[in-house]
C-alpha cells in the first residue's frame, strides 16, 4: 500500500525560524522542507502510512515545535507530474528544440 503525502504550510514566529527549521529537519517523515515567501513561512511535504499517522505527526510533532504558530494542510489526492507521479519523468530534463 502506498503512503499518503500532504503539504503542510507552517506559520512561524520570526525569531524562532532557525530553531523550527532545525527541529523539522530531524523528522523522518518530512520528505521536503522549504522556507518560502508569501502567506506561509515554511512549506513541507509529509509522508505517512495513513491518515492516523499523519494526524499524529501533525498534532504531536509539528505543532509541538517551539515557534510553530499554526499550520494549513493539503492531502495529495493524485500526483500528475513530478518525481512521485510514475510518469517516467523523474530526473529527466526537457530541452527546447
Q: Is residue 35 part of a domain?
A: yes
Nearest to 72 by CA among 35, 31, 52, 42: 42
Q: Is the pLDDT of residue 65 over 60?
A: yes
The percentage of residues in the chain with a pLDDT greater than 70, rounded to a whole number, is: 87
Q: How many domains does the chain have?
A: 1
In a domain, 20, yes or no: yes
| Alpha-carbon gap, residue 94 to 12, rounded angstroms | 36
Domain CATH for 17: 3.30.70.920
Q: What is the pLDDT of residue 96?
A: 46
pTM score, whole prediction: 0.84
pLDDT of 88 reads: 52
Q: Which structural domain, as residue segments, surrounds residue 27?
A: 4-75
Q: Is residue 27 part of a domain?
A: yes
Residue 95 lies in a domain: no
Amino acid at each position: 500500500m502506498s503512503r499518503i503525502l500532504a503539504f503542510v504550510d507552517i506559520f512561524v514566529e520570526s525569531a524562532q525560524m532557525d530553531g523550527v527549521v532545525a527541529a523539522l529537519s530531524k523528522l523522518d517523515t518530512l520528505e521536503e522542507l522549504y522556507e518560502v515567501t508569501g502567506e506561509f513561512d515554511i512549506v513541507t511535504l509529509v509522508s505517512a502510512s495513513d491518515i492516523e499517522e499523519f494526524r499524529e505527526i501533525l498534532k504531536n510533532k509539528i505543532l509541538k515545535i517551539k515557534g510553530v504558530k499554526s499550520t494549513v494542510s493539503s492531502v495529495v489526492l493524485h500526483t500528475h507530474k513530478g518525481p512521485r507521479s510514475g510518469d517516467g519523468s523523474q530526473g529527466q530534463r526537457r530541452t527546447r528544440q
